[in-house]
Amino acid sequence: MIGSLAVILGCQLLGEVVARGLGLPVPGPVLGMAAMVGVLWLRDRFRPPVLAGVEPAGRFLLAHLSLLFVPAGVGVVGNLDVLAAEWLALSVALVVSTVLTLVVSVVTFRVVARMVGE
């Protein structure tokens, strides 16, 4: 478990260092997630023993995922005045992003389905 947590947190740290070091407008955790995809690809391709498994930590984090939403909920409650002032813009952004996500998901599904021949 400690080894798999070290790999996950190491990827996030790498993302933060790259984002801040290069002044990129991309959040560090997003770059860390891309690094994790690379780590998992290397693991599946070459099977190095040091990357044997991030599954234990991943399963633990997924099992307790609801706890990770508590800080976000506290942040929302702490900024209710901002929500009251900007409710229309936030509502429009929420609806537009949801519709855009659905459209992109459908297009992606159709492209992949066509590629695999179903």
Q: Are the CB atoms for 26 and 19 separated by under 8 Å? A: yes
15/50 same-domain check: yes
82/59 same-domain check: no
Domain residues for the domain of 3 are: 1-63
Is residue 8 included in any domain, yes or no?
yes
83/59 same-domain check: no
Token pair 């995809």: residue: 37
pLDDT for residue 90 is more than 80? yes
pLDDT score at 2: 80
Question: What pLDDT digit, counting tens, does each position of 51-87 carry?
Answer: 566 777 888 888 988 888 888 889 889 989 999 999 9
3/59 same-domain check: yes
Of 73, 12, 78, 110, the C-alpha closest to 118 is: 110
- Mean per-residue pLDDT, 26-54: 81
Its pTM surpasses 0.85:
no
pLDDT score at 48: 65
d(CA 4, CA 6): 5
